Amino acid sequence: MVVGVGVLFAVSFDTLSQAVLFGTMAVQFGADYSVVLFAFAFILGMLLVDGANAVWVTSMLQRSESGARIVSRILGVSIAVLSLSVAGLKILSYCLSDA
């Protein structure tokens, strides 16, 4: 059931709207209609990643509560560090490009 929910999120309005935006912008700027294949590849990728995430979360929830809590905290900190690193790199590249 959780995998089904992951699939529904993968085919959500957000994913479809991003794929349509990618396709529309590419065609508007001179790309051919093969970019629609890339939009569908994006949707398929989201389906696979969200489905794998749902399977992983299900297996984590079936484990002991203390183990799931530790993994949750480690992943939360890892995601925060990664996000802040990407933001820092973007700010750094912006500052260096203006100099």
**Mind listing the pLDDT tens digit of every residue in the chain (99 residues)?**
666 666 666 666 666 777 777 777 777 777 676 777 777 787 788 778 777 877 777 777 777 677 777 877 887 888 889 999 999 999 998 888 865
Helix (H, G, I), strand (E, B) or coil at 11: coil
Q: Which amino acid is at 43?
A: I
Q: Which amino acid is at 81?
A: V
Q: How far is CA 13 from CA 46, 77, 81, 91, 96, in A?
A: 12, 29, 28, 30, 37
d(CA 77, CA 34): 39
d(CA 55, CA 61): 10
The verdict on pTM exceeding 0.85 is no
